[in-house]
């Protein structure tokens, strides 16, 4: 395994390949994404430590979606069991996956705890315990500062864990090395990741504006609301499909496992 630095334009290629791969197996990949969301949501609803448990499972199951993308690339139909592939390669790998998830959950909760310095914990409580964001909360400067602060700290956290589960699964790296190589790869390829992220943001915004314009043209205020959620979910499934290609191109050697 060797780090590969790619040009900035590769970020657009990741998006294109993700979309193209999604449409090879649209039912399977969208279905797996919905199962992924459902399992994380159901886990988060468990009493007491449900939200924390959902965060622990998130890295391994996100890697499962990457594995599903790879199955589609290889011309195979990704089965639902691929979501749990991180726990199917022996006890050592399962322990590593759980450790990565535990580290992610602890650091994520630390970010939420630090955001409490801005709004007294309102954003943290809403995220962990659920609740609706009303107009009063949304317009609260302290709440907005807490959200922006959390997003700012989440970027390095995301880089730290972006490749880590895949490095553990496909390259048999220990947890510490996988975290190290993950953040080094993201920093080394920050231009490509910036283009990748901005391209996806542009796509989400464009689709939202298009549906709003369609709603205005048809004079049906409910049309955009009816179409927006499925459109955003489908785009999100495509986004997770494209994540595999960012991992594949950041490291020269191919994964050793099928």
Bridge partner residues of 251 (DSSP) = 3
pTM value is: 0.89
If one counts every other C-beta atom within 10 angstroms of the C-beta of residue 145, the result is: 15
The span from the CA of 57 to the CA of 51, in Å, is 10
The domain ranges of the chain are: 10-250
- pLDDT per residue as tens, the chain (258 positions): 788 999 999 999 999 999 999 999 999 999 999 999 999 989 888 877 888 999 999 999 999 999 999 999 999 999 999 999 999 888 999 999 999 999 999 999 999 999 999 988 888 888 877 667 777 777 788 988 999 999 999 999 999 999 999 999 999 999 999 999 999 999 999 999 999 999 999 999 999 888 888 777 776 667 666 788 889 999 999 999 999 999 999 987 654 444
Look-up of token digits 């199917």: 88
Q: Which of 47, 90, 41 is nearest to 61 (CA)?
A: 41
pLDDT at res. 9: 96
Look-up of token digits 């907005």: 144
Q: Give backbone dihedrals phi and psi of 224, rounded to 5 degrees, phi first.
A: -65, -35
The span from the CA of 87 to the CA of 103, in Å, is 17
Q: How far lies 74's CA from each of 25, 56, 68, 71, 188, in Å?
A: 11, 29, 10, 5, 28
Spell 177-197 as b/e; 16+ CB within 10 A means b.
ebbebbbebbeebeebbebbe
The span from the CA of 60 to the CA of 87, in Å, is 8
């Amino acid at each position: 395994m060797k780090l590969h630095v790619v040009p900035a334009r590769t970020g657009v290629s990741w998006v294109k390949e993700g979309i193209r791969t999604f449409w090879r197996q649209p039912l399977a990949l969208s279905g797996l994404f919905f199962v992924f969301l459902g399992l994380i949501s159901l886990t988060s609803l468990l009493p007491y430590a449900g939200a924390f448990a959902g965060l622990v499972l998130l890295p391994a199951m996100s890697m499962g979606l990457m594995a599903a993308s790879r199955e589609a690339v290889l011309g195979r139909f990704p089965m639902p069991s691929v979501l749990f592939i991180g726990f199917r390669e022996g006890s050592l790998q399962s322990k590593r996956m759980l450790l990565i998830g535990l580290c992610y959950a602890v650091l994520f909760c630390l970010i939420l705890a630090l955001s409490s310095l801005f709004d007294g914990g309102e954003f943290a409580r809403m995220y962990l315990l659920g609740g609706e964001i009303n107009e009063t909360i949304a317009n609260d400067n302290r709440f907005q500062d807490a959200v922006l602060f959390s997003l700012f700290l989440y970027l390095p956290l995301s880089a730290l864990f972006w490749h880590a589960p895949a490095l553990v699964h496909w390259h048999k790296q220990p947890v510490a090395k996988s975290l190290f190589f993950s953040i080094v790869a993201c920093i080394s390829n920050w231009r490509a990741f910036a283009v990748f992220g901005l391209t996806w943001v542009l796509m989400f915004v464009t689709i939202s504006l298009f549906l709003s314009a369609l709603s205005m043209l048809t004079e049906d205020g409910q049309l955009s609301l009816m179409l927006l959620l499925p459109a955003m979910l489908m785009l999100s499934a495509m986004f997770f499909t494209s994540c595999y290609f960012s991992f594949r191109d950041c490291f020269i050697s191919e994964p050793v496992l099928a």
